[in-house]
Structure 1
Amino acid sequence: MADPFLIGEAMTGGYGKGPDILHECTIAVDKGEIAVIVGPNGAGKSTAMKAVFGMLDVRSGAVRLDGREITALSPQDRVARGMGFVPQTSNIFGAMSVEENLEMGAFIRRDDIRGTMEQVYDLFPILRDKRHQAAGELSGGQRQQVAVGRALMTQPQVLMLDEPTAGVSPIVMDELFDRIIEVARTGISILMVEQNARQALEIADKGYVLVQGRNAHTGSGKDLLADPEVRRSFLGG
């Protein structure tokens, strides 16, 4: 069997010289798929994604992108290989305009970025309207759109989102999820950590339930939503 497009396989590791937070944890996503990591607070969800992105030490296991091992690469090198990462907080330059934020996202590119910027504005029309406004003045949902748009400016093959709907209203959450589905339809792989587990699994091709840094349940979003144990333990019945 060929590897998925991106896989963090049997990852064990933690931050610096600290204890292991992940224990033989495996996370994977294929081309154009949406994979969602859910689980209780402190389960290691964001840590697993950061491990895939190279932000902590993977002491055993491996990360592979498009068949190539990238376990030893820095996050910057992974961006150059086609990975985009949107952290949960501090993910925009508040004093810069929306358009300047998007331009900053294209820092590794040497070609004409205007076409990609138009694609971002088509995906998030409100950003076109507010392109000259300081990003820090926008609503929470609009700031998240700026953060996702900026990551898309690198033309990533994989887009990684850490709690993209944290702190936004249910209406804004639904709209963000709709845009995420649109991004996946262009062939970009989406790997996402979400607290809104039920809604996230509804749009997920793959779901990973983590507990204490280990894989507890893995399956399609539909299968996990239908699993009585997952429903009882993680989805409120």
Structure 2
Amino acid sequence: MSFLVARDMRGGYGAEDILQGCTVEADRGEIAVIVGPNGAGKSTAMKAIFGMLRLRAGSITLDGADLTRMKPTDRVRNGMSFVPQVKNVFPSMTVEENLEMGAFIRRDDFSGTMDEVYSLFPVLAEKRRQPAGELSGGQRQQVAVGRALMTKPSLLMLDEPTAGVSPIVMDELFDRIIDVARTGIAILMVEQNAKQALEIATRGYVLQHGRNAHTDTGEALLADPDVRRTFLGG
């Protein structure tokens, strides 16, 4: 069994189920990527896994523990950390204050974790006294990821981490995501830049209409002519 298992998820908003029985898994040290067309249920799946959307059916387990009915705050205490696509920093707070907010559940000395975040994102160390709202889009994403890492998660969930950034910044963010996975943290990521995301993915999920259309390694999905033609633009 994988470290994260989100099995047969069904749920949505109101009376309509957006998720139609999809399953997503991720192991420690692995990058699992969810791709698919707009409206496929990618972000909805992430919200369901984090507890922001109550499932009508299905289950969520992390390291064997059933989190299906837990609130998001309890899921954080059990090892999940989630970076939403928008409004993911406190713009009036400094970089360092944002990171400190990420350690809200901790009662130990988290200075070592902050040093690790600064080592991962050196530009944040340079701008630690600067309000996050004054940073570039890519730097704000680094703050958001860094704050999520301050909880010392075992599963890091990223919803469109490269949205609105330049190709150069996207490549840099992907490199840092690889670095995080190498520490043993499981990564689950929704990404519109499907080709680039699948290039770094240990496993990939192509969703369509809330269902698993294709599931394989990132390399195999990139080589699949049907996936390339239907979802990756040829």
Q: Please give the range of the TM-score, normalised by the shorter of the 2 chains.
A: over 0.9
Q: Which runs of 5+ in 1 are unaligned?
A: none
Aligned mate of 1:212, from 209, 213, 218: 209
1:13 aligns with 2:7: no
CA distance in structure 1 between the partners assigned to 2:48 and 2:91 by the alignment: 27
Q: What letter corresponds to residue 4 of structure 1 in structure 2?
A: S
Secondary structure of the residue aligned to 1:20 is strand
CA distance in structure 2 between the partners assigned to 1:57 and 1:78 by the alignment: 13
Q: How does 1:118-137 map to 2 (within 5 A)?
A: 118-137=115-134
Q: How does 1:154-233 map to 2 (within 5 A)?
A: 154-233=151-230
Q: What letter corresponds to residue 92 of structure 1 in structure 2?
A: V
Alpha-carbon distance, 1:18 to partner: 3.0
CA distance in structure 1 between the partners assigned to 2:60 and 2:4 by the alignment: 8
Alpha-carbon distance, 1:144 to partner: 0.0
CA root-mean-square deviation: 0.5
Larger mean Cα displacement after TM superposition, 48-57 or 183-192: 48-57
Q: Which runs of 5+ in 2 are unaligned?
A: none
User: What's the counterpart of residue 96 of structure 1?
Assistant: 93
User: What's the counterpart of residue 80 of structure 1?
Assistant: 77
Larger mean Cα displacement after TM superposition, 56-65 or 115-124: 56-65
1:97-130 CA distances to partner (integer Å, 9 max, x unpaired)? 0000000000000000100000000000000000
CA distance in structure 1 between the partners assigned to 2:115 and 2:54 by the alignment: 37
Alpha-carbon distance, 1:68 to partner: 1.2
CA distance in structure 1 between the partners assigned to 2:83 and 2:174 by the alignment: 15
1:53-99 CA distances to partner (integer Å, 9 max, x unpaired)? 11111111100010111100000000000100000000000000000
User: What's the counterpart of residue 32 of structure 1?
Assistant: 29
**TM-score normalized by the length of structure 1:** 0.98
**TM-score normalized by the length of structure 2:** 0.99
Secondary structure of the residue aligned to 1:25 is strand
1:125-163 CA distances to partner (integer Å, 9 max, x unpaired)? 000000000000000000000000000000000000000
Alpha-carbon distance, 1:33 to partner: 0.3
Q: Percent of pairs identical after alignment?
A: 72
Alpha-carbon distance, 1:29 to partner: 0.1
User: What's the counterpart of residue 55 of structure 2?
Assistant: 58
User: What's the counterpart of residue 71 of structure 1?
Assistant: 68
Q: How many residues align?
A: 234
Secondary structure of the residue aligned to 2:96 is helix
CA distance in structure 1 between the partners assigned to 2:64 and 2:71 by the alignment: 17
